[in-house]
Amino acid sequence: MKNHISEIKEDFSGKLETVTATEGLQIIESSFKKTVKELFGEMKNMAPDEKKEAGQLINDLKNDFEARFKAIKEKFLNSPSVTSEMDLSIASPEFVRGKIHPLIKVGKMMEDVYKEMGFSIAYGPEIENDKHNYEMLNMPYYHPARDMQDTFYLEYPNVLLRSHTSCVQVRYMLENKPPFMIISPGVVYRVDEIDPQHTPCFYQIEGLVVGEGINLANLKWAMTESAQRIFGESLKVRFSPCYYPYTEPSAAVDMSCIMCGGKGCRTCKGTGWMRVAGAGMVHPNVFEGVGYSRDTVGFAFGWGLNRLPMLYFKIAEMRKLFENELSLWEQL
């Protein structure tokens, strides 16, 4: 019996040395209890002397291990990381989610803000004609402002790739009567060679609100509000006089620099401001061209939707937006 008990003791001591978790300890403990029960069972057939000796040995063994189990349990409780069978120090398998393109992501933020304000969304063709892209926007064929919007031409005369989404507004006005509030997000084209800050395609979100009582102060509100909802309330929005053939009065819209908070840095060329949009009250010639009265009032604006995601995600180069390097988008 004595030998048998020391064998048992050795066996369970060995098991306890390798145990690392509570679950493992519970298994050992229940197996130990079963063994002790068996040992007591074996005593039935023993002589009284033997019985007494064996009883003592078994009790010692039982007490010894119960103390050990208790100690180990406490140890596990105090160092929970060892009790887990999940090792967080090693990498987990990838859990891949997709990503929305950064430009679209910011575009959707803008869309959502304007939808909340009550704007509807309008789309139009990318292949346009001169009439919708220039002429009806108060830019006849000889207008020098066309130089700023040089675009690509297709095989038929006066057919081109739209240089702004303002032509969507023209089409919308031809088909609808005020009041309305629309935004027209989309791709536009300009003859720009590709370099870090230029691409031949880029995105705009233009807005048009036409209806009684609409004024420049409303325009300031709509643009300031939308920019602040996306970039934070501390953002400042500045309006200064500008010129667009299709708006009068016209305004250039600057945002306080996201990078430096308006103190002046390399991105904002030390001015603290960044040009992000153009806007103004729609020119009476444009209203007249679509069959509205010259007294109609409304405002229009156009955000450069390449600049905003670049600022939002601090992407230094515009062309990166169209290179689609997936490892970059993974950071989103």
Partner 1 sequence: MFKFPFNWLKAVSDIEVSYDDLLKWLNEQGFEIASLEKNGEDTIIEIEVKANRPDMLSIAGVLREVYISNKLPAPKVFDENICLSFDKDNKLSHEIKINSSDVHRYCGVEITDIDNTVKTPDYIMDVLTKLGVPSINPVVDISNYVLLLIGQPSHVFDTDKLVGNINISNIEEPIEFLTLNGSKTEFPKGALIISDDEKPICAAGMIGSPNAEITANTKNIIIESANFDHIIIRTTSKKTHVSTMASYRYERGVDTEMSYVGARILTKMITDICGGKVNTKAYCYKDAEYTPNVLKLTTERTNSVLGTNLFPDEIADILRRCYFDVKVLDGTTMEVTVPSFRLDIEFDVDLIEEVGRIYGYHNIEPQPIKLYAPYKENTVNKNANMLRNIMTGSGFFEILTYGFIHSDAMKILDINEKSPYYGDIKILNPLSNYFELMRPTMAYNIIQTAVNNLALGKTDIKIFELGKTFKRNPGHEDSYEDYTEKNMFGALITGVKYKKGFGVSKEIKYSVYDAVAAVRSIFGEYNIPIEIKNNDTFEMFERGVGAEITVGGKHIGIVGKISKKVLSAFENGKLAKDDVLYFEFCYEELEESKKSISYESNFPSVVREYNFIVKNGIHFTDYSKLITAESPLIVNVKPIDVYFGTGVEKGSSAVLINVEYNAITRTLSTDEIEIVEKGFKEKLLKKFGIELKK
SS3 325: coil
Per the listing, tokens 């069972």 go with 41
196 binds partner 1 (CB under 8 A): no
- What does the alpha-carbon distance between residue 209 and residue 223 come to, in Å, rounded to a whole number? 12
| Smaller CB separation from partner 1, 77 or 154 | 154
Using CB under 8 A, pick the residue from 23, 74, 179, 197 that binds partner 1: 179
Is residue 162 within 8 Å of 125, Cβ to Cβ?
Answer: yes
User: Which x/- pattern over 237-276 shows residues binding partner 1 (rule: CB under 8 A)?
Assistant: -xxxxxx-x--xxxxx------------------------
Q: How far is the CB of 248 from partner 1 (least distance, A)?
A: 4
Q: How far is the CB of 164 from partner 1 (least distance, A)?
A: 15
| Smaller CB separation from partner 1, 159 or 174 | 159
Q: How far is the CB of 140 from partner 1 (least distance, A)?
A: 8
Using CB under 8 A, pick the residue from 161, 255, 258, 310 that binds partner 1: 161
300 binds partner 1 (CB under 8 A): no
- What does the alpha-carbon distance between residue 101 and residue 328 come to, in Å, rounded to a whole number? 10
Q: Which stretch binds partner 1 (CB under 8 A): 6-14, 50-58, 78-86, 112-120?
A: 112-120
**Residue in 144, 138, 194 with CA at minimum distance from that of residue 166:** 138
Q: Which stretch binds partner 1 (CB under 8 A): 27-35, 45-53, 136-144, 310-318?
A: 136-144
Site for partner 1 in 305-324 (CB under 8 A): 321-324
Other beta carbons within 10 angstroms of residue 62's beta carbon come to 16
For residue 149, give every residue at least 6 positions away whose Cβ sits within 8 Å of its Cβ, in sequence order, or none.
Answer: 134, 163, 164, 190
Radius of gyration of the chain from its Cα atoms, rounded to whole angstroms = 38
Site for partner 1 in 212-231 (CB under 8 A): 212-218, 220-222, 224-225
| Smaller CB separation from partner 1, 53 or 126 | 126
Site for partner 1 in 52-91 (CB under 8 A): none
99 binds partner 1 (CB under 8 A): yes
Is residue 83 within 8 Å of 281, Cβ to Cβ?
Answer: no
Tokens of 27: 């298994």
| Smaller CB separation from partner 1, 27 or 159 | 159
- What does the alpha-carbon distance between residue 245 and residue 134 come to, in Å, rounded to a whole number? 9
Tokens of 4: 């048998």
| Smaller CB separation from partner 1, 68 or 108 | 108
Burial class (CB in 10 A: 0-12, 13-18, 19+), 128: buried
Q: How far is the CB of 328 from partner 1 (least distance, A)?
A: 10
Q: How far is the CB of 19 from partner 1 (least distance, A)?
A: 24
- What does the alpha-carbon distance between residue 187 and residue 206 come to, in Å, rounded to a whole number? 11
Q: How far is the CB of 70 from partner 1 (least distance, A)?
A: 36
Using CB under 8 A, pick the residue from 24, 55, 272, 284 that binds partner 1: 284
- What does the alpha-carbon distance between residue 250 and residue 229 come to, in Å, rounded to a whole number? 24
Other beta carbons within 10 angstroms of residue 163's beta carbon come to 22
Using CB under 8 A, pick the residue from 100, 174, 195, 261 that binds partner 1: 100
Size of the site for partner 1 (CB under 8 A): 87
19 bridge partner residues:
none
